[in-house]
Structure 1
Amino acid sequence: MRNDETTLLSPVPDDDGAPFWQYAARGELRIQACADCGELRFPPRPCCPLCHSFASEWRRMSERGRIWSYVVPHPPLLPAYAAQAPYNAIVVELAEAPRIRLVGNLVSGPGAPLNSVAVDRIRIGARVQAVFTEVAGMSVPHWILERS
């Protein structure tokens, strides 16, 4: 089943976050870091909150993390998502940067619908890995459960 790409939410890149989406299009999860002190930051912004430097670089992450939190909206937040209910929205803390947390969806595999993982399989602390799926013409990170 294909999403109606004209009504689903899609990312709106800004100047600071554009590299995140460019790397995602290549299937890479990268996080902005201060080029002077090394502090990782997300969401991307022009200035380091730690040392106030404007120098930055994009570091490749392992694409692994843990579910920090999740929600299953009832009813769906927007009408365009009704066909995929019940679906989840998860918060993932990155393995190598636990203070960095990304919001996404837990799915059964790349390109799978948002409702492809049963709600009773979602657990706080579960290990996940990023996969990239095209949504409204952009590659976005979704998450799959790591195999034990």
Structure 2
Amino acid sequence: MSGRGHVRSWTVIRQSFLPGFADDAPFVLVDVELIEQAELRLIGRLLDGPDTPLKLGDAVTVAFEDIAPGVGIPAFELTGEQ
């Protein structure tokens, strides 16, 4: 899979209740539908920042965020494509 997809929804997290993310607030979580398989969705942080303008259908690509040594989680970056 390419890791490319489109934004289906998002929310801005202003207070994190998860250990390790409190210092990152505010941040944006995006709900992304992957291009290769309709209805296959992932949720991850948008690395472009909380003030980045978003709209439904924006194109993103996966980027892995290292949260601890040897532990990475999916995150997303805008591609600028439609």
SS at match of 2:46: coil
- 1:78 is displaced (CA, Å) by 3.3
> Post-superposition, which runs of at least 4 consecutive aligned residues in structure 1 deviate over 3 A?
none
Aligned mates of 2:75, 2:47 — CA distance in 1: 7
Question: Matched residue pairs, number?
Answer: 80
Cα offset, 1:123, TM superposition: 2.2
Corresponding position of 2:24: 84
Identity %: 32
What is the alpha-carbon distance in structure 2 between the residues aligned to residue 120 and residue 77 of structure 1? 23
1:14-34 alpha-carbon deviations (Å, 9 max, x no partner):
xxxxxxxxxxxxxxxxxxxxx
Q: Give the counterpart of 1:128 among 60, 69, 80.
A: 60
Q: Report the aligned-residue RMSD.
A: 1.8
Q: Could you say which structure has the higher strand fraction? A: 2
Distance 1:85 1:106 in 2: 12
Matching residue within 1, 5, 10 for 1:70: 10
Assess, with a 3 A threshold, how the Cα gap between structure 1 residues 132 and 81 changes in structure 2: closer, same or farther: closer
Equivalent in the alignment of 2:77:
144
- Any idea what SS the aligned residue of 2:14 has? coil
Write 1 or 2 for the structure with the bigger share of helix.
Answer: 1
Higher relative contact order (CA 8 A, sep 6+): 2
Change (3 A) 1:98 1:74: same
TM-score (norm 2): 0.79
Q: Give unpaired runs (5+ residues) of structure 2.
A: none
